[in-house]
Structure 1
Amino acid sequence: MPRLSLIVPAYKVQGYLAECLDSVLGQDFSDFELIGVNDCSPDGSGAIFDEYARRDSRVRVIHLTENVGLGPARNAGLEQARGDYVLFLDSDDTLSEGALSAIAARLEATGDPDVLVYDYARTYWDGRVQPNNRAELLKQEGPDVFRLADRPRLLELLQIVWNKAYRREFVERWGFTFPPGYYEDAPWTFSTLISAERIAVLDRVVVHYRQRREGGNILRTTSRKHFDIFEQYDRVFAFVDEHPEFAQWHEPLFRKMANHYLTLLERPDRLPASARAEFYERASADYRKRLPGDFQRPAGPWGHKYALLHRGSYMAMSSALRANAVRRKVRTRAAAAISRSRRGALGVFYHSQLRLPLDDNLALFAAYWNRSVSCNPAAIAAEVGRLAPHIRRVWAVRADAVDKVPAGVDYVTVGSREYWAALARAKYLVNNVNWADAVVKREGQIHVQTHHGTPLKSMGLDQQKYPASTDMDFDKLLRRCDRWDYSISSNRFSTAVWERVYPCAYTSLETGYPRNDILLRATAEDVRRARADLGLAEGTTAFLYLPTHREYQHSFVPRLDLAKVAERLGPDVTLLVRGHYFYKSSPRLADMQSAGRIVDVSGHPEVEQLYLAADGLITDYSSAMFDYANLDRPIVIFADDWETYSVVRGTYFDILKEAPGAVATTQDELIGLLGSGAWRDDKAAAARAAFRKRFCDFDDGHAAERVVRRVFLGESPEDLPPVIPLEERTPAPPPGPIPAAPDPITVH
């Protein structure tokens, strides 16, 4: 029997769940079990639980067949708990380092109390940590154990369950369970505290309470579901009434109830405007029904609010709330003035266009900071032309890139009047990066963020941990991301990352990357044509070398001596090099280029065509590996500076241990791999298969169709083409029979 049982319910938290579980499983105290409850989550939370259960025997998973809500999900975990003590942890929160050791030590020191109350701190996306403003209530002074009557101010703490450890025998003896609803914590918290005979406190931050920027706390949403609070306080007072020995707690709980009702009424973002009067009437009725006979209202503003609630005059209360709103408006006047100034700077023309109606049949596309017509936006635009030809497709292109726009493509030059008009009036804005800060998101506009890769390196808010890699203004970043309506993902791994590092109110579309459709739909003739366009002779083995950028280098530093590599591999091998790797020329390099042994494809407009043409990919940390893996062709990782790169930029996994194929850390090792055939042996194939299983979730050749049907045609998710299972997909065929491996090269 474990000492502690931690119950972690999960629903739509795939971006945070792994961090939560890591914080538990990484504790220096190990005598615990973790019970994960997948509350029929529609995202990858259940799969994350299962993966952790496979890796750690302390993890058990319960998969509920329907979504029941937080309280009943906790009950499901409680039924399976075997520990001496039960702890609840929300799936987007984390434990502090050494938390479980501290809990276990305090339980032992206090002789196993019924309830142990510990501290927490709020953590924010920008790194701020805010201590609990009632932390002084948890000071370990006086008797080690006590009843609530000895320290009644503990009721001033938030009525939350996850800042306490509960002795399981105590919970079972009283038969405590969670009710359904929004405010399920209130009956459990009040009932356990007032009935516990032995309470102890731990003056230590145990839980880091994540303050999610968007969509994290259902209690912060505008909804009639806040009416649930009335049923929960009915349960609280029913418990007190059923146990006369707890009659002394009627008045303190009445104050908690009144404060809670008034707080909800004062918050402008909780109750719909149409429901506020009804809520007030019910709150007033509860107040009068439960008012203690000799009750003394508090002094000051709160006493006035109590009096208004007792009187039952919604008009008086509404007037008071309006006065508060006026004061808030005065406080924000300076911010509004700044906003007006910023709008004025955008230009009279743009703002004149913003006042015109949206064009429902206009879509504006952009890619790579307006440098090209490419990537996911290009694939989506092509599919819009097929499925929704009534929508006009226009591209935003920089003046210095106009000559690269394909024939027949409609475009506007960035900065022109036509550009600002399109930004203002297009219903659909599709980009693989963010639009400029000056862009105003209009009501009715739909912004689609397609991204342009699967992240190995840290992204978004995670870059705050690696300040040497960026000088980004993260507050501005999130304001740009606030404009997204949809975020496209090619795998569950990416979805979890995007939802955590860009915590905004968009909808994730797990459609696959549209740009990769061609990798699953191309024919042998398409592959032949791609190679012919590059001048690759039949029988040539072509490696696409595609390295990524290094933030820690201010100028280009070649990773490979390309001439030497090509020379050692022999005349039947061609290196297709995409990047700035002809920084310095040399006679030997020039000879290799003129002979076609090295081909600079940095300016090729479609990297997907290069993928089709290549027999294998050589890369370091580029997201190209995730796309190329869809072809099920060999991938070689050349990671000569992994330790530096991973420390400076930060990465989500160790590419040396979880590579999609063979790995080399020196140039000589790379030449040896390529020359010996190890780049395509059984070991490399097994690594690639594992990598594909993890990262090729949705790229099945129908991604663009799903995006267009969902976003542009308004079809429901259930009506979209289902994702073809990985084992049933047929990638584009390889270039042809690969020549037999030559004799191993001896590197001198």
Structure 2
Amino acid sequence: MTLISFVVPAYRVQGYLRECLDSILGQPFDDLEVIGVDDASPDAVGDILDEYAARDPRVRALRLPRNVGLGPARNAGLDRAVGEYVWFVDGDDWLAPDCLPEVAGRLRAARPDVLVVDHVRAHWNDTATRSAMAEVFPEPPGEATFRLRDRPETMHLLHTAWNRVVRREFLVDLGLRFAPGWYEDVSFTYPVLLAAERIAVLDRVCVNYRQRRAGAITRTRGDRHFEVFAQWHRVFALMDRWGPAVAELRPAVFERMVWHHLTVLGNGERIAPALRPAFFAQMTADHRRFRPAEGYPAPDGLEGLKHRLVAAGRWRTFSALRAANQARATARGTARRALPVARRTARLTRDAVLREYYRAELRRPIDPTLAVYAAYWYRGYACNPAAIHAAARRLAPQVRGVWIVRRDRVDTLPPGTEFVVAGTPGYYRTLARARWLVNNVNFPDFVRKRPGSVHVQTHHGTPVKVMGLDQQRFPLGAGGMDFAGLLRRVDRWDYSITSNSFSTQMWDRAYPASYTTLEVGYPRNDRLVTATAEEVREIRDRLGIGPDERVVLYAPTHREHLPRYRPPFDPERLLDVLGPAGRLLIRSHYFNDRAGRARRRSGGRAVDVSDHGSVEDLYLAADVLVTDYSSAMFDYAVLDRPIVVYAPDRDAYALARGVYFDVTAEPPGAVALTFAELLELFRSGAVTGAEAQRARQRFRDRFCTLDDGHAAERVARRVFLDNPA
């Protein structure tokens, strides 16, 4: 019999589900199964589960026909489990590495009804908070099993399903199921402990409990938090049914109920002010209904005072106490942040004067026809914003589009393009009054999100390397990023444009906020789909490329952690292999050209095209792309032409910068890890061989299905015309 059945319910966790599944399947332990339950999730959860099930026989994917909620979804997985033990792990949490052998060892040695394991709260800012295990068990709990009446302090461990492994037959015999509704753990985990004859505790961190910045019910306001009362009612109903067997534990369970109610009410992100009096009144009613006749172990101090106020129904006093505590905390924070007046400079710089002008412009009405566009930190007319701008001019001519550019890039704009120069009064005025703000990177920190304005983040590539908050785990590649500032910028987004489901999943976890994702394909790739053979010939003519020349475009990405690193690459040796008809175009990453320095060099058949204004021109002109970890491969794959992944520093890059997936294991074509291998790929013809073609087709099926030539139109209709068609 399988030892452990993992039940993984998943709803709107597409950005985290892969990490959860990998953390289970990658353990040095095989006696397990995973039942992934898609609770009718509207995102890619079901597809991810199907993908894992197709490649790993230990995974079974279950798709529910309608959304039933976390509790019933767990029940559906439990009904299909075959393991001796069942472990409910939520789809946005993940297991600690190498924990399963120790869990399995304890299960086999002790044969408990329930094994409680330790956890940490893993916060979105890459910090972790320890659990209460050390306070509940100041002395190691040891390997012996016990009943709850012998160690009632066990109830002070977090009452969740995922921090305990339960014997499946014990659950079946008990007839215990998860109830519907929020706080479903309450009416499952306390009864499990009450009924268990053999409880074991493993004081090893096994679960990373993700504290999501957005999307968790603990950070969602609404009246559904009142469902906590029904869950506790179920606990006491079971205790009444079980009678004398659990009667002596009633005071301890009651204390946990009051503590939990106070926790829910005390979290300002759950209960709106208007609902707090009614919530408090229900707390008082339940206190009177379930209070044991012999009393209960109420805490001392301030917490004990709260218990007494609940018992007496004194909401006004409770509310005043809460307000006083919050005022003291605010005062302390203000005092810490205050700066002496003497530190403030009296002299306003030019930038400060312009910022004051910007703030004054914010007080003027939004221009209902104005859209502002920018790309690559004002480097010019490019990428997704340029494609959206062109589509908007055609579909929404009433919208006036204005571009922000650096002064040294003005001459790169297409004729007739309206623009303002970054840093000028017109720049600040345009930013302040625009209704739409479209960019493929973030606007500066000073830009305010005005009510009624619409911010569109188009991004500029499908991510291979980790981005956003995920970079916190790779400090060498993060380069001293201000993650709090990043999140303030992300909070301005109304729309996030993605080119495929994979990008959507990664942006969900890298940039957690409340924006709407438009998974419509990349607008900049429309041109790659619609370009005619005549257009390709004209581009090649402008670049001086003959009709019979075979063009290789080499476009490596930037190494943030190694700014002076260049992959080993000898253009002359590659050209020797390509033969007399070969031509090589070399394009550096845009990070290497922030100041706008043109570095075009002609060297016979090798040409540096780093300063060429349109990378799409270069894609269309090239017969083969050679790249490493760049998003260029996803765009070029739209053309269905050969791609070579040349990754000489694969392991070092993944370790220092971090990657979302290994492009050498799931490549868009042939792979070379050394320059000698790269030469051999071209020499042998493997670049265009059957295996490379099959790899490219798999890659295209995964990443390029939305690039049909109409992505910019879809964005323009949704953003400017409010038409989702």
Whether TM exceeds 0.5 here: the answer is yes
Instruction: Tell me what 1:164 maps to.
Output: 164
Instruction: Tell me what 2:436 maps to.
Output: 428
Instruction: Tell me what 1:295 maps to.
Output: 295
Distance in 1 between the 2:153 and 2:618 partners?
68
Q: Which moved more, 1:359-368 or 1:317-326?
A: 317-326
Aligned-residue offset at 1:445: 2.7
Distance in 1 between the 2:338 and 2:163 partners?
42
1:550 aligns with 2:549: no
Aligned-residue offset at 1:460: 2.5
Distance in 2 between the 1:243 and 1:657 partners?
56
1:463 aligns with 2:471: yes
Instruction: Tell me what 2:595 maps to.
Output: none
Query: Could you say if the C-alpha distance between residues 234 and 657 of structure 1 is closer, same or farther in structure 2, counting changes exceeding 3 Å?
Result: closer
Query: Could you say if the C-alpha distance between residues 647 and 303 of structure 1 is closer, same or farther in structure 2, counting changes exceeding 3 Å?
Result: closer
8 Å Cα contact 1:492-1:697 kept in structure 2? no
Instruction: Tell me what 1:399 maps to.
Output: 407
Instruction: Tell me what 2:334 maps to.
Output: 333
Note the alpha carbon deviations across 1:383-418, whole angstroms, 9 max, x for none: 222222222211111122122122111111111111
8 Å Cα contact 2:500-2:519 kept in structure 1? yes
Distance in 1 between the 2:177 and 2:363 partners?
55
Instruction: Tell me what 2:234 maps to.
Output: 235
Amino acid aligned to 2:486: L
1:536 aligns with 2:537: no
Distance in 1 between the 2:142 and 2:713 partners?
67
- SS of the counterpart of 1:150? coil
Distance in 1 between the 2:306 and 2:622 partners?
73
- SS of the counterpart of 1:463? helix
For residue 365 of structure 1, the aligned residue among 353, 362, 373 is: 373
Query: Could you say if the C-alpha distance between residues 604 and 51 of structure 1 is closer, same or farther in structure 2, counting changes exceeding 3 Å?
Result: same
Map residues 102-117 of structure 1 onto 2, 5 A cutoff: 102-110=102-110, 112-117=111-116
Query: Could you say if the C-alpha distance between residues 697 and 410 of structure 1 is closer, same or farther in structure 2, counting changes exceeding 3 Å?
Result: same
Q: Which moved more, 1:24-33 or 1:176-185?
A: 24-33
Q: Which moved more, 1:372-381 or 1:137-146?
A: 137-146
Instruction: Tell me what 2:221 maps to.
Output: 222
Instruction: Tell me what 2:191 maps to.
Output: 191
Instruction: Tell me what 1:82 maps to.
Output: 82
Note the alpha carbon deviations across 1:19-54, whole angstroms, 9 max, x for none: 111111121222111111111112222222122212
- SS of the counterpart of 1:209? strand
8 Å Cα contact 2:53-2:59 kept in structure 1? yes
Distance in 2 between the 1:77 and 1:315 partners?
45
Map residues 93-132 of structure 1 onto 2, 5 A cutoff: 93-110=93-110, 112-132=111-131
- TM-score after normalising by structure 2: 0.91
Q: Which moved more, 1:327-336 or 1:192-201?
A: 327-336
Aligned-residue offset at 1:665: 4.2
Instruction: Tell me what 2:316 maps to.
Output: 315
Distance in 2 between the 1:668 and 1:306 partners?
74
Q: Which moved more, 1:248-257 or 1:671-680?
A: 671-680
8 Å Cα contact 1:121-1:132 kept in structure 2? yes
Instruction: Tell me what 2:210 maps to.
Output: 210
Aligned-residue offset at 1:490: 1.1
Structure 2: give runs of 5+ residues left out of the alignment.
Answer: 346-350, 593-598
Distance in 1 between the 2:80 and 2:577 partners?
62
8 Å Cα contact 2:556-2:589 kept in structure 1? no
Instruction: Tell me what 1:351 maps to.
Output: 359
Map residues 545-624 of structure 1 onto 2, 5 A cutoff: 545-555=554-564, 557=566, 559-579=568-588, 593=602, 597-624=605-632
Aligned-residue offset at 1:277: 2.2
Query: Could you say if the C-alpha distance between residues 142 and 617 of structure 1 is closer, same or farther in structure 2, counting changes exceeding 3 Å?
Result: closer
Query: Could you say if the C-alpha distance between residues 655 and 483 of structure 1 is closer, same or farther in structure 2, counting changes exceeding 3 Å?
Result: same
Distance in 2 between the 1:298 and 1:470 partners?
45
1:703 aligns with 2:703: no
8 Å Cα contact 2:567-2:648 kept in structure 1? no
Query: Could you say if the C-alpha distance between residues 668 and 177 of structure 1 is closer, same or farther in structure 2, counting changes exceeding 3 Å?
Result: closer
8 Å Cα contact 1:23-1:94 kept in structure 2? yes
Query: Could you say if the C-alpha distance between residues 309 and 141 of structure 1 is closer, same or farther in structure 2, counting changes exceeding 3 Å?
Result: closer
Aligned-residue offset at 1:121: 1.3
Distance in 1 between the 2:544 and 2:487 partners?
45
8 Å Cα contact 1:119-1:135 kept in structure 2? no
Map residues 23-172 of structure 1 onto 2, 5 A cutoff: 23-110=23-110, 112-138=111-137, 139-141=139-141, 144-172=144-172
Distance in 2 between the 1:174 and 1:629 partners?
55
8 Å Cα contact 1:148-1:194 kept in structure 2? yes
Aligned-residue offset at 1:440: 2.4
Aligned-residue offset at 1:164: 0.8
Aligned-residue offset at 1:346: 7.5
- SS of the counterpart of 2:249? helix
8 Å Cα contact 1:513-1:699 kept in structure 2? yes
Aligned-residue offset at 1:95: 1.3
- SS of the counterpart of 1:306? helix
Distance in 1 between the 2:282 and 2:84 partners?
41
8 Å Cα contact 2:537-2:547 kept in structure 1? no
Query: Could you say if the C-alpha distance between residues 129 and 524 of structure 1 is closer, same or farther in structure 2, counting changes exceeding 3 Å?
Result: same
1:514 aligns with 2:515: no
Identity between Structure 1 and Structure 2 (%):
51
Aligned-residue offset at 1:337: 4.8
Distance in 2 between the 1:533 and 1:164 partners?
67
Amino acid aligned to 1:153: E
- SS of the counterpart of 2:695? helix
Q: Which moved more, 1:466-475 or 1:484-493?
A: 466-475
Structure 1: give runs of 5+ residues left out of the alignment.
Answer: 584-589, 721-748
Distance in 1 between the 2:563 and 2:315 partners?
64
Distance in 2 between the 1:256 and 1:346 partners?
57
Aligned-residue offset at 1:698: 2.1
Amino acid aligned to 2:403: W
Instruction: Tell me what 1:10 maps to.
Output: 10
1:527 aligns with 2:536: yes
Q: Which moved more, 1:539-548 or 1:368-377?
A: 539-548
Query: Could you say if the C-alpha distance between residues 171 and 438 of structure 1 is closer, same or farther in structure 2, counting changes exceeding 3 Å?
Result: same
Amino acid aligned to 2:369: N
Instruction: Tell me what 1:739 maps to.
Output: none
Note the alpha carbon deviations across 1:528-581, whole angstroms, 9 max, x for none: 332233233333322222222233544474743334433553443322332389
- SS of the counterpart of 1:385? helix
Aligned-residue offset at 1:151: 0.6
Distance in 2 between the 1:235 and 1:558 partners?
64
8 Å Cα contact 1:240-1:249 kept in structure 2? no
For residue 657 of structure 1, the aligned residue among 642, 660, 665 is: 665
8 Å Cα contact 1:441-1:483 kept in structure 2? yes
Query: Could you say if the C-alpha distance between residues 509 and 331 of structure 1 is closer, same or farther in structure 2, counting changes exceeding 3 Å?
Result: farther
Note the alpha carbon deviations across 1:489-535, whole angstroms, 9 max, x for none: 11222222222222333332211111011122222333233223323
Aligned-residue offset at 1:624: 0.9
Distance in 1 between the 2:273 and 2:717 partners?
35
Amino acid aligned to 2:492: R
